[in-house]
Amino acid sequence: MKKVLKWIGIIILVLVVIIVAAMFMFRSKYKSLANERFEVNVPDIALQTDSAGMARGEMLATALCTGCHGGDLAGKDFFNDKTIGVVYSANLTPGGPTAAWSTEDFVRAIRYGVRPDGSGLFIMPSLEYNHMSDYDLGCLIAYLRSLPASDNPSPPAEFTFMAQVMAGAGLFGDLYSASVLDLQDGSARERPEVGETLAYGEYVMLISGCQSCHGEAFNGAKSPDPVSPPGGNITPAGNIGNWNYDQFAETMWTGKTPEGKEMDPKFMPWDGIRLLGDTEKKALFLYLQNLPPKEDSEDLARWKAKNS
Ligand code: HEC
Ligand code: HEC
């Protein structure tokens, strides 16, 4: 009996040592990701400072950036969870850390997710903005430069030890767009003509990142936010297949679906999507309605089974 207990003790001890070693290994993997420096081939982008360019820049910034960077784009703690930590998004006004940035610095950060010192921007969705056309990027940067300066501070993110371990183990997905993107691809990005067309709808979908939460096939996926419900099925096989355009627009305006579900804007960014122009929303809806219908993904089906 004593011998058996002794062996059980040894096995538990070995397991504990292995788990602790693995935790430190994943944490150091996270640290080395965080310390990586990236070299980018940054293309020349012309600023669009005329009134049409500024108006388009404002539409893009309010629809795409305010959800994380705050209504006045002066930064905020957009993620705050006891077990994971606090993530601040930067103050993007001329009073923040970008005050002295050149256009090139903005292009490097927005299209490639890299700071002027070569460090990667974390969580910032450059995978999506990598698709943004040269013209739209020129509008967006011109608009950001025109914002009233705010001196709201932009402190670095603070992660708990557990969150660093989880990040190193890849549980949050690709944290740094820069480690996934082709940073040497400085080719010009064209945009389809603005209009209620499938091509423009696909473009709007790509720069607003629906797939990062709804999955490559749009049939539901885990959100990159670890405390969020999964993104729903937005192919015609999901609820949206029964909606007309007005119901879609109303859902994006109020966050409440025709089926009566109230969506938290922290998890489903309808409060940003609603600020897209009418043509953008119509093209987006047209694009979604023309997707091949797909059954719920396994992740979504499992979540629904557990939560119904
Ligand atoms: C999903 C949330 C999210 C969205 C949406 C987002 N950002 Fe960010 N952004 C961040 C976070 C978080 C950081 C800070 C990253 C870090 O500290 O590594 C950041 C950093 C930046 C920086 C670098 C500032 C600095 O000095 O560190 C720029 C520039 C920027 N964002 C521009 C934009 C623009 C322009 C948009 C809209 C087109 C946008 N962001 C949309 C989360 C977001
Ligand atoms: C940051 C993650 C995220 C992004 C980006 C995102 N969504 Fe969502 N979306 C969600 C989540 C999470 C839900 C489910 C919310 C819930 O269950 O309360 C959802 C739900 C929805 C629903 C309701 C589905 C239903 O059947 O009730 C629609 C429609 C929708 N999203 C459309 C879009 C479109 C279109 C885009 C791109 C323009 C988009 N979403 C981008 C996370 C996201």
Q: What is the pLDDT of residue 258?
A: 97
Ligand 1 contacts CB of residue 177 (under 6 A): no
Q: Nearest ligand, CA of residue 98?
A: 1
User: Mind listing the pLDDT tens digit for each residue in 143-200?
Assistant: 999 999 999 998 888 889 888 888 888 877 778 999 999 999 999 999 999 999 999 9
Q: What is the pLDDT of residue 154?
A: 86
On whether the 198-307 domain is CATH 1.20.1510, my answer is no
The domain locations on the chain are: 51-179, 198-307
* Spans in the chain with pLDDT lower than 50: none
Q: Nearest ligand, CA of residue 143?
A: 1
Pocket test for ligand 2, best of 214, 246, 275, 306 (most atoms within 8 A of CB): 214
The reply to whether 198-307 shares the fold of 51-179 is: yes
Distance 18 CA to ligand 2 centre (A): 39
Distance 59 CA to ligand 1 centre (A): 17
Pocket test for ligand 1, best of 80, 124, 210 (most atoms within 8 A of CB): 124
d(CA 19, CA 103): 46
d(CA 21, CA 189): 45
What is the residue with the minimal CA distance to atom 34 of ligand 1?
Answer: 65
d(CA 41, CA 239): 43
Q: What's the 3-state SS for 247-286?
A: HHHHHHHHCECCCCCECCCCCCCHHHHCCCCHHHHHHHHH
The Cβ of residue 295 has, within 10 Å, a number of other Cβ atoms equal to 14
On whether the 51-179 domain is CATH 1.10.3470, my answer is no
Distance 268 CA to ligand 2 centre (A): 5
Residue type, 33: L
Residues 6+ apart with CB under 8 A from 24: none
Distance 223 CA to ligand 2 centre (A): 9
User: Mind listing the pLDDT tens digit for each residue in 262-284?
Assistant: 999 989 999 999 999 999 999 99
Q: What is the pLDDT of residue 201?
A: 98
Pocket of ligand 2 (CB under 6 A): 208-210, 212-214, 223, 228-229, 231-232, 234, 238-240, 251, 257, 261, 263, 267-269, 273, 284
What is the residue with the minimal CA distance to atom 7 of ligand 1?
Answer: 124
Pocket test for ligand 2, best of 211, 213, 228, 308 (most atoms within 8 A of CB): 213
Q: Is the whole model's pTM more than 0.75, yes or no?
A: yes
Q: What is the pLDDT of residue 169?
A: 85
Q: What is the pLDDT of residue 121?
A: 93
* 8 Å CB contact between 143 and 78: no
Residue 113 dihedral angles phi and psi, to the nearest 5°: 70, 35
